[in-house]
A and B are shown apart, each in its own frame.
Chain A
Amino acid sequence: MFFGVDVLNAMLWLFNFLILPAITYGSTLALGALGVTLVFGVLRFANFAHGDMMAFGAMVSLIGVELLNGIGIFTYPVPLGLLLLPVAMVSTGLLAIMIDRTVFRYYRRIRSPPVVVVMASIGVMFVLNGLTRLIKGPELSLFNARQTFSVGEVNTAALAEQLGEQAVRIRTDFATNTELIEVSEPEVVFFYVSEFRKATGLSEGFGLDLLQVVTVVLALVIFLGLFLFLSRTRMGKAMRAYSDNEDLARLSGIDPQRVVAITWLIAGSLAAVAGTIYGLDKGYKPFTYFSMLLPIFAATIVGGIGNPQGAIVGGYLVAFTEVIVTANYKKVANYILPDGLDIAGNLQLLGTEYKFSVSFLILVVVLLFRPTGIFKGRVL
C-alpha cells in the first residue's frame, strides 16, 4: 500500500460486488436460457411461457417448504427448498408435457407457422401467470419466512439446538394472552463481511454464503449432466438428430412424440431449478420471473438460439455485461488512484434502473451484426 494505491482492496471490491453477483445471476440466466434453447432447437419456436414456468417451479418448492415448515420440520443447514428441488422439477416437467399435449401438439400436427405457436405460448404464459397468482398470490414471499407455532406444537429445545438460540423466540400474544413460538430459519454464511474485515484489517470485506456456492455448483453439475445426456445417451442423440433434421430423424425410426416429451420434461425441470434457486436467493414473486424472460431471451439469442453451449455462454455474458455496465466504480477507482486524486461523484456508466435495458442493447447489437449468435444457432 504505497501512495494510497490499494490494489488488494480494489480486487476484493471487484470480487464481492462484480464477479460473485454476476456469476450467481449468470447461472440462473444460463439455466433459464438452456430451457428456452432446447425448446427452440427441437420445436422451433420461442417459448414466451418459460418465465412463468420458472415461477411455477419455484411456487411448487415454496409451497412444499411452507407446508413442511408449518409442521415444524426444518432442514437447516441445507435449505429445504433445495431438497424439494426434485419434486419441483418433476411436477414442472409433467406440467410442461401436459401443456404440450393440450396446446402445442395440435399446432405441430397441422404444421402451422411458428408465429401462431408463439402466440399460443403467450396464451400459456397468461394461463400459467394466472395460475401461480391464483394459488400463491402476486406478492413477494420468502423461502425462509418466519413461522409461528403455539406452545407444545413443536419441540422448542430441539429446534433451538438445530437453528441456534437466536432463531427461536417466545412471544406473548396479548390479544389472546397465549404464548407463541416464533421460528425464523437463519441463512448459512461462510464468511461475514464484517468478520473478514476484522480478521484481516482490510477496509473491504469478503462475504460468501451457501446459496451462492450451491447455485454455481448446481448449475455446473446440470450443464455437465445435460451435455453428457445429449452426447452419450441414445435419447440425447435422438434429440439432436430430431433438431437437426426432423424428417430424416423420423425415417431413422426416432419416435417424435418421445423426443418432444423428453424435451419438455428437461425444459420444465430446468425452469424449476432456475426458478427455485433464484427464489431462494431473492424471494418468490411471479412478476419477477416474467421480467426475467427478457434477459433469458437475450442470453439465448446472443449465444445462438438452439445451441446449448451458446445458451450458457450467453447467460454469463449477459449477466456480466449487466453488472459491469451498471456497477458504480467510485470505490474501486479511489482505491487504485493515488490519494490526491479521489473521485467525489459517481463513476457509473448507467443507472441500475436500466439493468434490463443493457441485455437488450446486447441483443440488438448481436441481431444486427451476427444474427446467428456467437455460436452458430439452430442445431442442438
Chain B
Amino acid sequence: MYSRYWVVFSLLSLLILTTGFVQSWSFALGLVAMGLISGVMALGLNIQWGYAGQFNAGVMGFAAIGATACVLVSMPWVTDTMVQGLEQLSVDPAVNAESIHKLEQDIVRRTNAEHMLWKAWLIGGFGAILAWFANRLLRNRVSVYVRTFLVFLILIGSLALFSAKLDTAVKVIEATGIGDDSKYLGGLGLPIIIAWVFGGILAAGTAWLIARIALGLRSDYLAIATLGISEIVIAILKNEGWLTRGVLNVTGLPSPVPSVSVLQSEPYNLNVVHSLLANKLAFIFVVATFLAFFMWIAHRALYSPWGRMMRAIRDNEEAANAMGKDITRRHRQVFILGSFMIGCGGAMLATHVLQFEPAGYHPLRYTFLIWVMVIAGGSGNNWGAVVGGLLIWFLWVQAEPAAAWFFAVVGANFASESGMFAALLSERAPQMRTLVMGTLLLLVLRFAPRGLLPAVTPRK
C-alpha cells in the first residue's frame, strides 16, 4: 500500500525538478508554493468532505474571507499614514503649503468620520441586542404578532439610524487618504502571520453562522446554498469599499519573509536570481510549517476517539445517533474546522500574490478547482489532499503552455494555409485549462473514484 505513496511523491518531485531544469527554478518554486497553499485549502475541504460528507461549494467565500483578514490585520491604518505623511510634508512647509492644508483638513474630516463609523456600529449592535432581548422577554407574554411587530420595529429603526450614519461616514472615508493604498479604513498594521490565523478564525466564524442555517440540508442543497453564500461574500467584499477597498484592490500586502530587495542589500547581499529563489524558498518553508501543523492536527483527530466517532457518523448516521452522538454538533464542528483551514489557505494565497483583489475570485478557480484536487488526490485521505493540491495546481498552470505548444504544432502542420486559424488557436490556448481539468475530474470519477491515494480505513 505504501509503495503507492513512494511512486506518487517521486513522480511529483520529478515533475517539479523537470520544470526547474526546463523552464526556470523560480517558476518551479512558485508552483510548489501555490501547490502547498492549495494543499492547505484542499485539506480543509477534505476534512469536511471526507470526514463528514459535506458538499461545501463555498470554498471561494472562505478563501476570500481569509484574504480580507490580511488586509484588516496587516495593512497600515490609513489615518496614521496620513499623519505620517503630514509630518514628512511639514519638513518643508513653504513648498507644500497647499497640500499640507488639504491634508490637515482631510485628517480632521476623516477622524470625525471614523468616530461616526464606530457610533454607527454601536447603534447597530445595540439595536440587534435590544431586538434579541425584546424577543426573549416578550416570548409567551404577548401574542406572537405583537412580538414580531415590535421586534421588527426595533430592527428597522436601528437599521435606519445605522445606515444613515454609516453612509455619511463611508463617503468621507472612501474619498480621503494619501498615497496609493488609501481611500479605505486600513488595517491594524500587525504581522502577517497573525493575519493568517485571524483569517482562519474569521472564516470559522462565518462557517459557524452558515452551519446554523444550512448544515441540516441534503447534500446537493448544501452545495447550492454554500455556492450562493460564497457569491454573497464576494459581492460584499467587492462593494464595501470602506472596509476592503473593493474593486480598487489592496496591493502591497506584507510578506512573512524578507522581500527580494531586502535580500539583495545588507546583510544578505545576494544577487538577483539567488534573492528571488531565497525569498520563494523561505515562503515555502513558512507555508509548509503551517501545512505540517494542520496535517498533524487532522491526523491526530482522525486517529482519536473523536475521529472514530466521526467515521461512525459518516458511515451510519442513524446508528451513531442511536448511540447518543450529537450528529448536528459534530457536523458543525467539522464544518468549522475545515473552514478554518480554508480561510488560512485563502490568507496565504493573498500573501503569496501580495495583493487582495475581490473581483478576481471566480468559483471555477477557487471552489471547483479545489474540489478537483480533493477528488483526484483521494477523498478522505489527508496526504491525498496535499498531493492533489500540488499535482492539480501543476497541471492547471502547465496546461496553458502545453496547449500553446500543441496548438502551435497543429497550426503549423494543418492550418498553415490560413494564418488566421493558427493565430486564433494560439490565442485560445489559455482556455484549455478548464477543459483539461473537467476531463481529468470526469476520468478520475469514472475510473479511479477513490483517487490517487485512496483513503485507508484504520484497523479497528
- Selected contact of A123 from candidates B231, B235, B239, B442, CB within 8 Å: B442
B: interface residue count bin = 35 or more
Scoring B213, B214, B442 by chain A CB atoms within 10 A of each residue's CB, the highest score goes to: B442
Contact A119 B438 (CB under 8 A): no
Within 8 A of A (CB), among B32-53: 53
Contacts of A364 in B (CB 8 A): 213-214, 225, 228
Interface centre among B224, B428, B449 (most CB of A within 10 A): B224
**Residues of chain A contacted by B435 (CB below 8 angstroms):** 126-127, 129-131, 134
Q: Please tell me which one of the listed residues B227, B239, B446 contacts residue A354 in the complex, with CB atoms under 8 A apart.
A: B239
Interface residue? A138 (CB, 8 A): yes
Give the nearest-CB partner of B424 in chain A.
A137
Q: Helix, strand, loop or mixed for chain B's interface?
A: helix
Interface string of A95-139 (1 = CB under 8 A from B): 000000001001000000011101110111111111101100110
A127 contact from B235, B375, B428, B439, Cβ within 8 A: B439
Chain A residues with CB under 8 Å of B55's CB are: 115, 118
Across the interface, A130 reaches (CB within 8 A) one of B223, B229, B434, namely B434
Q: Is B441 an interface residue (CB 8 A)?
A: yes
Please tell me which one of the listed residues B214, B228, B368, B439 contacts residue A298 in the complex, with CB atoms under 8 A apart: B228
Residues of B within 8 A of A46 (CB): 220-221, 223-224
Choose one: A122, A123, A357, A363; the contact of B225 (CB below 8 Å).
A363
Count of interface residues, chain A, beta-carbon cutoff 8 Å: 43
Decide yes or no: A301 and B224 within 8 Å by CB, A106-B446, A118-B55, A357-B231 being known contacts.
Answer: yes
| A367–B221 CB distance below 8 A | yes
Cross-chain contact of B431 among A130, A290, A294, A368 (Cβ < 8 A): A130
Q: Is A74 an interface residue (CB 8 A)?
A: no
B428 CB contacts on chain A under 8 angstroms: 133-134, 137
Contact of B214 with A127 in the complex, beta carbons under 8 Å: no
Q: Kindly identify which residue among A118, A133, A291 contacts B223, using a CB–CB cutoff of 8 Å.
A: A118
Scan residues 374-433 of chain B and give those whose CB is less than 8 A from a CB of chain A: 375, 427-428, 431-433
Find the residue from B55, B225, B362, B433 having the highest chain A CB count within 10 A.
B225
Write the chain A residue with the least CB distance to B427. A137
Contact B224 A363 (CB under 8 A): yes
Interface membership of A173, Cβ < 8 A: no
Query: When chains A and B are docked, how far (Å) is the Cα of A118 from the Cα of B56?
Result: 12
- Judge whether B231 and A129 touch: CB under 8 Å: no
A46 to B, closest residue via Cβ: B220
Residues of A with C-beta under 8 A to B137 = none
Q: B322-350 toward A: CB 8 Å interface, digit per residue (1/0)? A: 00000000000000000000000000000
User: Which chain A residue shows the least CB distance to B164?
Assistant: A345
**Which of B215-271 touch A at CB < 8 Å?**
217, 219-221, 223-225, 227-229, 231-232, 235, 238-239
Complexed CA–CA distance, A351 and B371 (Å): 32
**Contact of B53 with A115 in the complex, beta carbons under 8 Å:** yes
B220 to chain A, nearest CB (A): 4
Assembly CA distance A124 to B437 (angstroms): 10
Q: Which residue of B lies closest to A126 (CB)?
A: B438
Q: Which chain B residues lie closer than 8 Å to A368 at the CB level?
A: 213
Indicate with 1 or 0, residue by residue over B291-329, a CB within 8 angstroms of chain A CB atoms.
Answer: 000000000000000000000000000000000000000
Specify the chain A residue showing the minimal Cβ separation from B425: A134
Whether a CB of chain A sits under 8 angstroms from the CB of B436 is yes
A290–B375 alpha-carbon span in the complex (Å): 22
Which of chain B's residues has its CB closest to A297's CB?
A: B224
Q: Which of B221, B431, B436 contacts A133 (CB 8 A)?
A: B431
- Residues of A325-380 at the interface with B, using a CB-CB cut-off of 8 Å, are 351, 353-354, 356-357, 359-360, 363-364, 367-368, 371
Q: Which residues of B contact A125 (CB under 8 A)?
A: 368, 438
Closest 6 A/B residue pairs (Cβ): A126-B438, A130-B435, A360-B228, A127-B438, A130-B434, A123-B441
10 A–B contact pairs at CB < 8 A? A103-B442, A118-B220, A119-B375, A124-B442, A126-B439, A137-B428, A287-B362, A357-B235, A364-B213, A367-B214
15 extra interface residue pairs, beta carbon distance < 8 Å, beyond A46-B223, A126-B439, A290-B364: A46-B221, A115-B219, A119-B375, A120-B441, A120-B445, A122-B368, A123-B442, A126-B368, A126-B434, A129-B434, A287-B362, A294-B231, A354-B235, A363-B224, A368-B213
